[in-house]
Amino acid sequence: MIEFGHISHVGLRRELNEDTYYGDSELGLWLVADGMGGHACGEVASALARETIVREIRDGTPLAQAIRIADEEIIRTSRRRNDTLPMGTTVVAARIQGNCFEVAWVGDSRAYLWREGQLAQLSQDHSYVQELIAQGALTSEQARTHPHRNVVTQALGVTDPNHLNVETMTGELRPGMQLLLCSDGLTEEVDDPSIAATLKHDDCSAQECVDTLIAAALDGGGSDNVTAILVRCH
């Protein structure tokens, strides 16, 4: 049995929530998309990503391909509107079919897996600071406060479809496991040990857990829109 909690909040410093999300246990699809703040119409881009991916998954398209089609769709829409700047969005999505899960992402929205009392980050940010970490030029701790920590290297609507890197990973879903999908508004304010401390409370519902995470992000400063979905396998 799948239980999930979900929440999105504008944060404390933005007037508009450009994040969007989707969750459907019957379809076995959950996603979070974070519209690009510096670009025009981030909220349009994230909503387009959601609608396109949901439609494609309903039609039987594989997850990574659905994300590629969303990239093309956002680029087409942006051209039609003659936007001076491309509109963009990150996306992180999870599919559950039977006892298998698949996670796919573009950008710096993240997927985490909680299992056997441990929190593991499944996704690797497509970001400038992540590239510096990979080169050994920066530690994860330094990355948290780096002035360019919000610069993504891949995004739907911005990255040419030929160069789009939709990363995926798969695994077995067992009872007690939890999948967390979130925008960087959460991870910017709440570190991994604090996320783990919240997910540890299996006496709380999935909804209570995400409510707690969002409250922690707001307590931390709420500098961005913040969205989280927690999918729990019983």
Condensed to tens digits (0 to 9), the pLDDT of residues 69-103 reads 999 999 999 999 887 778 999 999 999 999 999 99
28-52 pLDDT per residue, tens: 999 999 999 555 589 999 999 999 9
Could you tell me how many helices (H) and strands (E) the chain has, helices first?
A: 7, 10
What is the pLDDT, as a whole number, of residue 50?
98
CB neighbours of residue 57 within 10 Å = 21
Give yes or no for a contact between 57 and 29, defined as CB atoms under 8 angstroms apart.
Answer: yes
Is residue 44 exposed (0-12), middle (13-18) or buried (19+ Cβ within 10 Å)? buried
What is the pLDDT, as a whole number, of residue 190?
97
Helix, strand, or coil (residue 79): helix
What is the pLDDT, as a whole number, of residue 86?
81
203-225 pLDDT per residue, tens: 999 999 999 999 999 999 999 99
The predicted model gives 186-214 an average pLDDT of 96
What is the pLDDT, as a whole number, of residue 40?
55
Strand partners, 30: 23, 94
Q: Would the pLDDT of 142 be above 70?
A: yes
Give yes or no for a contact between 161 and 68, defined as CB atoms under 8 angstroms apart.
Answer: yes
- Diameter over CA atoms, the chain: 51
Helix, strand, or coil (residue 206): helix
Task: Show me where the domains of the chain are located.
Answer: 2-233
Strand partners, 167: 105
Tell me phi and psi for residue 65, to 5 degrees.
-70, -40
CATH class of the domain at 2-233: alpha beta
Q: Name the nearest CA neighbour of 233 among 168, 167, 169, 171.
A: 171
What is the pLDDT, as a whole number, of residue 160?
94
Q: What is the DSSP letter of 220?
A: T
